[in-house]
Structure 1
Amino acid sequence: MTTAPEQTSPAATTADVLAVAREQVLERGAGLSEEQVLAVLRLGDDRLTELLALAHEVRMRWCGPEVEVEGIISLKTGGCPEDCHFCSQSGRFPTPVRSAWLDIPGLVKAARQTAETGATEFCIVAAVRGPDARLLSQVREGVKAIRADGNDIQIACSLGMLTKAQVDELVEMGVHRYNHNLETARSHFPEVVTTHTWEERWETLRMVREAGMEVCCGGIIGMGETVEQRAEFAAQLADLGPDECTMNFLIPQPGTPYEHYEVVEGKDALRTVAAFRLAMPRPLIRFSGGRELTFGDLGTKKGMLGGINAIIVGNYLTNLGRPASKDLAMLDELSMPVKALSDTL
């Protein structure tokens, strides 16, 4: 079960970490260290409003007011050979998800619908250890068909672990951003996945960065990690320096080893969002899976005012989201402009 963070009273040390963060992160743009992030994660609820306000200031100072909107689609669903304990698409667990492929017309339609929401990013996802020749052929044909449809939306992919040749092939296709989540802290990873290592994931991200693609990397909060491991994870992501960090919160999936885990408490989740922003002042930090369950509408707004500057709209891979129109209305209410496609090119 998720270990709740220890919370300190409003002592001098509590006040000091926010004062340090204001000078170090807001003024100089230098992210907090692992130890400093841990101090932030241990802040009491009485400091949460102050923390969120500072994280929002940091986001506005170093990223600006715009929000990047993205849609995602599953090209190949279910039947994955890996044992990621949170994932309903693993073929090792008795989940309701069954293997399926999306055809090219379906992919084109999804990309078109995503672009019509005003989104600038469309991510093609597959439940695999890594792509085989068939999958890469489908991606190639899909990208061609999306372009032939007159759609100039940015295309990202999330296809598991890659070889150098596969990285180069995706670059040649015109894929500009690659998502591969580290999922959790290095020290906790063996408790979450046993069929591959954290280091294997890191190697894929290294090759992606060296090839010139943008790096999207984050993980899932609420998988039994300690507060110390959350701080460790934030520091490891900061060391990676992703262009985008995805913030997911565990959705306990039926049939998985984590099906009975508790949902992360809203205040704890908001504290984590703000802490990650203070660790990484400049990247996109994107609300991803689990936000509806963890935050609800009010909490989502607080998160958008607490360091978040990107969002997935519509449905997720095997879970329903909420209508894109609701998220776009929320951004309008918050006076947060949607990032234009011309700004991403």
Structure 2
Amino acid sequence: MTAPVTTPVETSPAVDAPDDGLLARAREQVLEAGRGLDEQDVLAVLRLPDESLNDLLALAHEVRLRWCGPEVEVEGIISLKTGGCPEDCHFCSQSGRFDSPVRSAWLDIPSLVDAAKATAATGATEFCIVAAVRGPDERLMAQIREGVAAIREAVDIQVACSLGMLTQEQVDELAELGVHRYNHNLETARSYFPQVVTTHSWEERWETCELVRAAGMELCCGAIIGVGESLEQRAELAAQLAMLEPDEVPLNFLNPRPGTPFGDLPPVDARDALRTIAAFRLALPRTILRYAGGREITLGDLDVRGMLGGINAVIVGNYLTTLGKDPGSDLEMLADLRMPIKSLQATL
């Protein structure tokens, strides 16, 4: 699979557009036939007025139940190597290029195992080891070898990794180690990517994603919403993810970090966030769609509506450099919604 060619489109301000039968067509195409919406229809969904939001979320929830089932996948993440990253992702406080309060640090293996045990105790089936790097060097790969082996020896949980861009040899080694899933986000649309990152290209990210899929690992590839992109570019990204066909799409919402170029951007409006969740569900009917960073400040208590609008996975606990909700709060929410947590056996 080659990276898609992007055709520039004229951007327009976000305006409420009438339904004009859009949701009825989406019901037939996505809910009944299981075919995701294309880029133009996703854009139309993102432009729906607030009075259509309840119907949109209800349809996205039906799609999620029809094509993914009622279970919710729970995951915890931990930073093995924090800060000091040479890349300039404008939303990230771990970049060594910005004057942010995050400083470089490494986590030892016993602490990594303890974090995996604590994650498993919440009922999570997935534990993701993350490193703030362009790509792994030999020191990091050695830590991953030791860490994955120690976790697999100590606790029954799937291990995922997010280590930046990979070579073919590194992909093969991670697969051999038994890494279940690899996370490497496209972050934003191809047409907007140079406004978000300048030290590497969107195409380099796409290439790593292709290597991961070819090696037989599950691919986790998502987005960060609210970095200045237009609605057209959100729709473009949804279409590009649909072409890539990842197993999981984490949806992050910008939590502006002090000292970063995007530190002064406003949080995404809650209604726009909910429309985005539903639109991505209608574009990716069979994909795990995961709540990730930023939902706390973007949605607050309205995150329940996202769970009833297409989301079927959550990261519990804290994120890499920001605080998340208490895991017990998320688990209580799932219990109140009568949404069962996916078992480990169901992920094997």
What TM-score bracket applies, with the shorter chain setting the length? over 0.9
TM-score, length basis structure 2: 0.96
Question: What are the within-5 Å matches in structure 2 for residues 1-345 of structure 1?
Answer: 5-8=14-17, 10=18, 14-149=19-154, 151-297=155-301, 299-345=302-348
Describe the superposition over 1:34-84 as per-residue Cα deviations: whole angstroms up to 9, x where unpaired. 000011011000000000000000000000000000000000000000000
Partners of 1:259 and 1:251 lie apart in 2 by 8
**Percentage of pairs with the same residue:** 71
Give the residue type in structure 1 aligned to 2:341.
V
Which consecutive aligned stretches of 4+ in structure 1 deviate over 3 angstroms post-superposition? none
Describe the superposition over 1:123-175 as per-residue Cα deviations: whole angstroms up to 9, x where unpaired. 000000000011011011001111222x1200000000000000000001100
Give the residue type in structure 2 aligned to 1:117.
T
Give the residue type in structure 2 aligned to 1:222.
G
Query: Deviation of residue 4 (structure 1)?
Result: 6.3
Describe the superposition over 1:174-225 as per-residue Cα deviations: whole angstroms up to 9, x where unpaired. 0010000000000000000000000000000000000000000001000000
Partners of 2:343 and 2:126 lie apart in 1 by 10
Partners of 2:126 and 2:42 lie apart in 1 by 30
Partners of 1:312 and 1:89 lie apart in 2 by 19
Partners of 1:212 and 1:28 lie apart in 2 by 27
Give the residue type in structure 1 aligned to 2:181.
R
How well do the aligned residues superpose, as a CA RMSD in angstroms? 0.8
Partners of 1:184 and 1:95 lie apart in 2 by 22
Any gaps of 5 or more consecutive residues in structure 1?
none
Give the residue type in structure 2 aligned to 1:323.
D
Count of aligned pairs: 337
Partners of 2:51 and 2:329 lie apart in 1 by 30
Partners of 1:283 and 1:234 lie apart in 2 by 12
TM-score, length basis structure 1: 0.97
Any gaps of 5 or more consecutive residues in structure 2?
1-11
DSSP-derived class of the 2:300 partner: helix
Give the residue type in structure 2 aligned to 1:328.
L
Partners of 1:117 and 1:317 lie apart in 2 by 18
Partners of 1:20 and 1:111 lie apart in 2 by 44
Give the residue type in structure 2 aligned to 1:174.
G
DSSP-derived class of the 1:204 partner: helix
Partners of 2:188 and 2:294 lie apart in 1 by 15
Give the residue type in structure 2 aligned to 1:154.
Q
